[in-house]
């Protein structure tokens, strides 16, 4: 037992930090070619999407976004989006808003493409759920700043690291709520589907997913909100958008500019939240 003790008789510290650093160094070395390719691919999507939207006259894009909000969530949310985005344009924060919107959209789509299949798998397999659930608990309790640390060695400073950190940070809600929604489908309905001779795929697509859609939409809403919060935090590692405005204000101790950028983030978050909540209510009433 002497190997557990230091020379002064105190218990040796478990070198978790050294093991974590060694593992990160090994992964960075052996996955360098893959991460460079992913980084170039994601950077291309970010720059292309941002440049395309910024070429559209702001008033045209604002009308299009407000029209989409009206179609998805009704007149009240459509007006909120219209006046909110016009206000951001007036504050000279439109370019930063578009950058943030692109980052959140790409991060959310990636999180959904990865998280929805995992959530479906967890719903259909008890073993998969017991395996994934502890990882989700750890991901949801880990401080958000920690996700930025491993992203930098893999993808460097900038928006690409922000996207990958945001995907990991925002994925747990959609996995958990997708699994919860499908597992919460009444057994008598799934038994009736089995009695009619449906295949597992038919039962999933025509019974379980439609009934679980309101819960899944709630998970998508939470994923979007977490993605927006993480994109803002990721300004510390060079991400653009409204988060950069906040971080710049902190560095300059400019309270007015910081408050202005904070209000812009709130407006964007409220619009996205109201739209996705309305889509969830529509799915619930369908």
For the stretch 244-273, pLDDT in tens is 888 888 888 888 888 998 899 999 999 999
For the stretch 166-177, pLDDT in tens is 888 889 999 999
Instruction: Reduce the DSSP state of residue 5 to 3 states and report it.
Output: strand
Q: Rounded CA gap, 270 and 177, in Å?
A: 21
For the stretch 218-237, pLDDT in tens is 888 889 888 888 887 888 77
For the cut 70, the answer to whether the pLDDT of residue 10 exceeds it is: no
Q: Give me the pLDDT at residue 140, please.
A: 80
Domain residues for the domain of 62 are 31-285
- The phi and psi torsions of 31 (rounded to 5 degrees) equal -110, 15
For the stretch 197-214, pLDDT in tens is 788 888 888 888 888 888
Is residue 23 domain-resident?
no
For the stretch 84-109, pLDDT in tens is 999 999 999 999 999 999 989 998 99
Is residue 16 domain-resident?
no
- The residue that leads in pLDDT, 10 or 3, is 10
Count: domains in the chain: 1
Q: Rounded CA gap, 84 and 57, in Å?
A: 17
Is residue 20 domain-resident?
no
The mean predicted confidence, pLDDT, of the chain is 85
Write the CATH number for 122. 1.10.3720.10
The encoded tokens of residue 195 equal 């009695």
Is residue 206 domain-resident?
yes
pTM: 0.85
- Backbone CA torsion sign across 92, 93, 96, 97: negative
Is residue 10 domain-resident?
no
Number of other CB atoms surrounding residue 132 within 10 Å: 20
Is residue 133 domain-resident?
yes
Q: Give me the pLDDT at residue 18, please.
A: 79
Name 28's Cβ contacts closer than 8 Å, sequence gap at least 6. Answer: 35, 153, 154
């Amino acid at each position: 037992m002497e190997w557990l003790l230091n020379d002064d008789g105190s218990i040796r510290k478990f070198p978790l930090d050294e093991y974590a650093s060694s593992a990160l160094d090994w992964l960075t070395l052996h996955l360098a070619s893959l991460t460079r390719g992913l980084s170039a691919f994601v950077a291309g999507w970010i720059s292309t999407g941002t440049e395309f939207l910024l070429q559209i006259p702001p008033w045209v894009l604002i009308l299009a976004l407000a029209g989409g909000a009206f179609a998805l969530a009704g007149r009240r949310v459509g007006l909120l989006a219209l006046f909110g985005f016009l206000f951001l344009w007036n504050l000279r924060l439109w370019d930063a808003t578009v950058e943030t919107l692109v980052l959140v959209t790409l991060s959310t789509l990636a999180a959904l493409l990865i998280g929805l299949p995992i959530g479906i798998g967890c719903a259909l397999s008890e073993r998969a759920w017991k395996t994934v659930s502890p990882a989700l608990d750890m991901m949801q309790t880990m401080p958000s700043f920690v996700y930025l640390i491993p992203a930098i060695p893999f993808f460097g400073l900038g928006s690409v690291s922000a996207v990958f950190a945001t995907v990991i940070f925002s994925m747990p809600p959609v996995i958990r709520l997708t699994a919860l929604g499908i597992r919460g489908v009444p057994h008598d309905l799934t038994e009736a589907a089995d009695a009619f001779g449906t295949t597992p795929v038919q039962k999933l697509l025509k019974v379980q997913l439609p009934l679980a859609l309101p819960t899944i939409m709630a998970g998508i809403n939470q994923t979007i909100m977490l993605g927006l919060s993480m994109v803002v935090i990721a300004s510390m590692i060079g991400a653009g958008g409204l988060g950069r405005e906040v971080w710049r204000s902190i560095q300059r101790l400019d309270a007015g500019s910081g408050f202005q950028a904070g209000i812009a983030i709130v407006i964007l978050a409220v619009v996205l939240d109201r739209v996705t909540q309305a889509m969830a209510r529509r799915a619930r009433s369908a």
